């Protein structure tokens, strides 16, 4: 047991951060003054800016990153998919990705990760394909780009849709190209612990006209009308298509599919617009922290696996994940407890969803089926790696590791 009283806690180094600048505050006040707080001008601006940042045509803002995944997956039902069809995803990831597949009416099919990269292993993804598979969900875990070249090949070989979950990887690149631009669609989260944040929020981005139309309908209960007025009634005008189906059928209450109620509001989007303006700076600052931790924790590499980019990868760190090596003379909890007592927040590295999360016991998977995900799930954890960690904070974090390691 670590003795709590003996540990000096001088600072608090959080895993996430929020910093609303003057631009964000001004826009929030503007939305309030306008009296328009459900989706409007800022939602539209945020969608356009975030999609444009990726060089794509469409952004569809939703309430959460989980909904972004669910909306993207639900489009499969209109592309030949049926309820109960399968989506392949990494066994180690935040649980919401699997939940979202179920919310959409499909079933998650887990495949093991690569123990070095923490991302979906293409061979395992291919081996998990069944006659009911419709899509591969490439999650960029912890901000590290998944192997998009190989995953795109697997998807193409089997006629599957490739969807990216870049909730943890805003601004990461693979072979020089931004993640989020490889698949048919990419889902993002702007939850408070994420790289760009609006408090709560999510977005699907795509270049595909038809998928964008479906996502807009799906986020709004499955509504039929896709005209500008019905999608985002920015200027309170009248729907030109309102009686397109006949004098007694109001298109605004005509629903073509089972959708979600998942819209973003103006106050969130007001923050989002500012976040996109600052995106390059935020990602750059996070990468500097990542480099710092990699340089200064290298002396503990015998016992801890660090977070180094592989060939062609440019990480945009959500956090700084570490895995306690099997040879280490201490357990994960001993180190994380010590760090917490020093004021360095930690979180477990998600766990292997099918075998380590009770919520997925019903699927009947057995311990040992996903060795890499189980290893990282049992021995991995993460600390903060964000733009508001100062140089002194970063040095303090490293000193805490040094202190803990002294006895080994
Ligand atoms: C990979 C991944 N996808 C999706 C989500 C869901 O995002 P949200 O919390 O906004 O629903 C998260 C986490 O928060 C995540 O880490």
- Run of H or E residues at 393: helix 391-405
What is the pLDDT, as a whole number, of residue 248?
A: 87
Taking CA atoms, 149 is separated from 36, 51, 58, 152, 182, in Å, by 43, 22, 23, 5, 9
8-state DSSP, 27: H
Asked if 181 and 50 touch (Cβ cutoff 8 Å), the reply is no
Asked if 339 and 293 touch (Cβ cutoff 8 Å), the reply is no
Q: How far is the CA of 47 from the centre of ligand 1 (A)?
A: 18
Q: Tell me the torsion sign for CA atoms 355, 120, 192, 27.
A: negative
What is the number of H-type helices and E-type strands within the chain?
13, 14
**Closest-CA residue to 332 (of 381, 374, 365):** 381
What is the pLDDT, as a whole number, of residue 110?
A: 98
CA 126/CA 141 separation, integer angstroms? 19
Q: How far is the CA of 287 from the centre of ligand 1 (A)?
A: 21
What is the pLDDT, as a whole number, of residue 233?
A: 65
Q: Which of 168, 196, 219 best tests ligand 1's pocket when mutated (most atoms within 8 Å of CB)? A: 168
CA 225/CA 309 separation, integer angstroms? 45
Q: Whose CA is nearest to atom 13 of ligand 1?
A: 94
- Run of H or E residues at 324: strand 320-324
CA 374/CA 355 separation, integer angstroms? 8
Strands (E), 32-191: 58-62, 86-90, 107-111, 133-139, 161-165, 173-174, 177-178, 185-189
Assigned token pair, 227: 């005209």
Asked if 184 and 162 touch (Cβ cutoff 8 Å), the reply is yes
Q: Where in the chain do CATH 3.90.1150.10 domains reside?
A: 4-16+279-405
CA 143/CA 325 separation, integer angstroms? 21
Q: Tell me the torsion sign for CA atoms 25, 187, 153, 369.
A: positive
CA 364/CA 42 separation, integer angstroms? 45
Q: Pick the catalytic residue from 170, 194, 375, 386.
A: 194
Asked if 24 and 274 touch (Cβ cutoff 8 Å), the reply is yes
**Partner residues linked to 177 by β-bridges:** 174
CA 167/CA 181 separation, integer angstroms? 13
Assigned token pair, 215: 């996502």
What is the pLDDT, as a whole number, of residue 2?
A: 46
Is 194 noted as a catalytic residue in this protein? Answer: yes
Taking CA atoms, 82 is separated from 129, 165, 169, 188, 390, in Å, by 16, 21, 30, 25, 50
- What is the CATH number assigned to the segment(s) 22-271? 3.40.640.10
In tens digits, the chain (408 residues) has pLDDT values of 445 556 667 789 999 998 899 999 999 999 999 988 998 999 999 999 999 999 999 999 999 999 999 999 999 999 999 999 999 999 999 999 999 999 999 999 999 999 999 999 999 999 999 999 999 999 999 999 999 999 999 999 999 999 999 999 999 999 999 999 999 999 999 999 999 999 999 999 999 999 999 999 999 999 988 877 788 766 667 888 888 888 888 888 899 999 999 999 999 999 999 999 999 999 999 999 999 999 999 999 999 999 999 999 999 999 999 999 999 999 999 999 999 999 999 999 999 999 999 999 999 999 999 999 999 999 999 999 999 999 999 999 999 999 999 989
CA 301/CA 279 separation, integer angstroms? 31
* CA R_g for the chain: 22
**Closest-CA residue to 7 (of 369, 371, 341, 400):** 341
Query: Cβ neighbours of residue 248 under 8 Å, at least 6 residues apart?
Result: none
**In 220-265, which residue ranges form alpha helices assigned H by DSSP?**
228-231
Pocket of ligand 1 (CB under 6 A): 64-66, 69, 93-94, 96-97, 139, 165, 167-168, 189, 191, 202
Nearest-atom index, ligand 1, CA of 201: 10
Query: Cβ neighbours of residue 284 under 8 Å, at least 6 residues apart?
Result: none
Assigned token pair, 157: 């070989």
Nearest-atom index, ligand 1, CA of 141: 1
CA 261/CA 234 separation, integer angstroms? 19
Q: At the top level of CATH, which class does the domain 4-16+279-405 belong to?
A: alpha beta
What is the pLDDT, as a whole number, of residue 291?
A: 98
Query: How would you class 350 by CB atoms within 10 Å of its CB: exposed for 0-12, middle for 13-18, buried for 19 or more?
Result: buried
Q: Where in the chain do CATH 3.40.640.10 domains reside?
A: 22-271
Whether the pTM exceeds 0.75: the reply is yes
Assigned token pair, 110: 């887990």
What is the pLDDT, as a whole number, of residue 6?
A: 63
Query: Cβ neighbours of residue 384 under 8 Å, at least 6 residues apart?
Result: 13, 14, 15, 16, 17, 319, 320, 344, 345
Q: Which of 66, 100, 321 best tests ligand 1's pocket when mutated (most atoms within 8 Å of CB)? A: 66
The phi and psi torsions of 34 (rounded to 5 degrees) equal: -75, -20
Nearest-atom index, ligand 1, CA of 69: 4
């Amino acid at each position: 047991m670590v003795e709590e009283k003996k540990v000096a806690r001088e600072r608090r180094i959080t895993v996430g951060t929020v910093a609303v600048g003057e631009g964000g505050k001004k826009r929030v006040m503007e939305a309030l003054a306008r009296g328009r707080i459900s989706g409007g001008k800022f939602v539209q601006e945020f969608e356009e800016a975030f999609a444009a940042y990726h060089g794509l045509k469409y952004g569809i803002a939703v309430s959460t990153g989980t909904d972004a995944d669910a909306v993207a997956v639900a489009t499969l039902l209109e592309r030949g998919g049926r309820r109960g069809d399968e989506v392949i995803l990494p066994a180690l990831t935040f649980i919401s990705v699997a939940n979202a597949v179920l919310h959409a009416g499909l079933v998650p099919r887990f495949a093991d990760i690569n123990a070095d990269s923490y991302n979906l292993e293409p061979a395992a993804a291919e081996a998990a394909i069944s006659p009911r598979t419709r899509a591969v969900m490439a999650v960029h875990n912890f901000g590290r780009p998944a192997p998009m070249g190989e995953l795109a090949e697997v998807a193409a070989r089997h006629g599957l849709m490739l969807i990216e979950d870049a909730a943890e990887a805003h601004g990461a690149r693979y072979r020089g190209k931004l993640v989020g631009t490889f698949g048919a669609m990419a889902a993002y989260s702007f939850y408070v612990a994420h790289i760009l944040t609006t408090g709560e929020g999510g977005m699907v981005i795509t270049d595909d006209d038809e998928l964008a139309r479906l996502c807009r309908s799906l986020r709004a209960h499955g509504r039929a009308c896709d005209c500008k007025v019905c999608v985002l009634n920015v200027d309170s005008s009248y729907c030109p298509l309102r009686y397109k189906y006949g004098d007694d059928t109001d298109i605004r209450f005509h629903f073509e599919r089972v959708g979600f109620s998942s819209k973003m509001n103006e106050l969130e989007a007001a923050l989002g617009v500012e976040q996109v303006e600052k995106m390059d700076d935020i990602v750059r600052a996070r990468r500097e922290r990542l480099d710092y931790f990699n340089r200064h924790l290298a002396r503990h590499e015998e016992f801890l696996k660090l977070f180094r980019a592989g060939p062609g990868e440019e990480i945009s760190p959500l956090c700084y994940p570490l895995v306690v090596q099997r040879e280490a003379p201490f357990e994960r909890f001993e180190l994380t407890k010590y760090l917490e007592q020093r004021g360095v927040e930690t979180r477990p590295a998600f766990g292997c969803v099918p075998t380590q999360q009770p919520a997925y016991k019903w699927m009947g998977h057995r311990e040992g089926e996903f060795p890499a995900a189980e290893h990282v799930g049992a021995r991995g954890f993460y600390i903060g790696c964000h733009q508001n960690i100062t140089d002194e904070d970063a040095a303090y974090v490293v000193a805490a590791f040094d202190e803990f390691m002294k006895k080994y």
